[in-house]
Amino acid sequence: MALSKDKFSGAFAALERMFQPKAPPLIGMDISTTAVKMVELSASGNNMYRVERYAIEPLPRDSVVEGNINNLDAVGEAVKRCHNRLGSGIKNVALALPNAAVITKKILVPAGLTEEEIEVQVETEANQYIPFSLDEVNLDFQVIGPAPNSEEDVEVLIAASRKEKVEDRVAATEVAGLKPAVVDVDLLAAQAAYALIETQFPNNGRDLNIAIVDVGAAFTVVNVLRNGQSIYLREQPFGGAQLTQEIQDKFGLSREEAEVAKRAGGLPDNYETEVLNPFLDTFSLEVTRALQFFFTSTQYNQVNHIVLAGGCAALPGVERAVEQRTQVKTIVANPFANMALSSKIRPKNLQQDAPSLMVACGLALRRFDP
């Protein structure tokens, strides 16, 4: 499935397994701006899954900035601590590149081509769409299936990333003694986890516009899906770091103390009225603006449901605040809702952490690729 191996070396050994079937038993690992997150799933019969373990390990400040690893040693040590906390004997991991670091493009090729013939077409198309020499990128492709509007063609997804982006994450994984088995894209991994949530919607979300709103530390990503395909994507400079900073300023805490308090509670009584509620109002307004951009730039004038993901989705009252502002039915993401749980998992803790584990969960699902 991957392009000719003799053209690539080093970290591409990991990227060329992107989308590869029959992935080995592995752990989903998400390296975000603020933390390393790991999820291990197993099969539970009747096409169900079981959460065996998960772990979240905070990252030192500025070790990852806008998806780029700035401090490889610090990230590698955090990956190691996270794996130790996970307590799993599995060394294979599926990891993801940030969406901004990956160029993706769907192309159509004639049905019936051999894999080698598809490779030639992919290389030709890649030269048109990738603003770098192919020697500077890691490149892979996946045949998606028959083209929607043409019986004579098949749809192929091309994915490419600068080599250093892949190498940094592979190096951080290997420093921790782990083996990168799959390299994916965080947006696609989150969409895989969303497939576990869409069963909550009427007719499994068929022909509905579902907006996944993922609030990271610095950016909010709005991804509108229709029948499992992304029809709109927008990134806005707003995130949970703003709430952390407001907690620091208001109560004289360090960044680390503010992060802990934001998650665990224990702040003074005026936190809700003077800090949290204004933040939720601002966040709800950001979501409303993103939906307006969606309406003005596409053929659609409605979003049927909003799914909140990311660390801020666990804030008390966020679901109600967004629903009231947007007048759109809103839920908090929990891809584990219908999974069995091992005795090691505390259900209350998992429910709290679930919105921030969408990417890690989607990566863990790669274990079950057909």
Domain ranges of the chain: 5-102+166-190+358-368, 200-333
Structurally, at CATH architecture level, domain 200-333 sits in 2-Layer Sandwich (3.30)
Domain 5-102+166-190+358-368 has CATH 3.30.420.40: yes
202: its two tokens: 């009427």
* 85, two tokens: 């906390």
pLDDT tens-digit readout, 287-328? 999 999 999 999 999 999 999 999 999 999 999 999 999 999
- Entry pTM: 0.86
How many other CB atoms are found less than 10 A from the CB of residue 297?
10
| Closest of 128, 134, 188, 138 to residue 165, by C-alpha | 138
The mean pLDDT value of the chain amounts to 89
Residue 155 to residue 141: CA distance in whole angstroms: 11
**pLDDT of amino acid 370:** 67
* Cα torsion through 175, 176, 178, 184, rounded to 10: -80
Please answer whether residues 43 and 50 qualify as being in contact, where contact means their C-beta atoms are separated by less than 8 angstroms: yes
Query: 126: which 2 tokens?
Result: 């890649």
For residue 1, the model assigns a pLDDT of: 40
Question: CA 108, 109, 115 angle in degrees (round to 5)?
Answer: 130
| pLDDT < 70 regions, the chain | 1-24, 370
- The residues, any chain, with a CB within 8 Å of residue 116's CB and separated by 6 or more, are none
What is the four-CA torsion angle of 27, 32, 36, 37, rounded to 10 degrees? -50
Beta pairing partners, 179: 92
What pLDDT, on the 0 to 100 scale, is given for residue 8?
A: 41
Query: Which of left, alpha, beta for 183 (phi over 0: left; psi -120 to 50: alpha)?
Result: beta
Across 341-366, b (16+ Cβ under 10 Å) vs e yields eeeebeeeebebbbbbbbbbbbbbbb
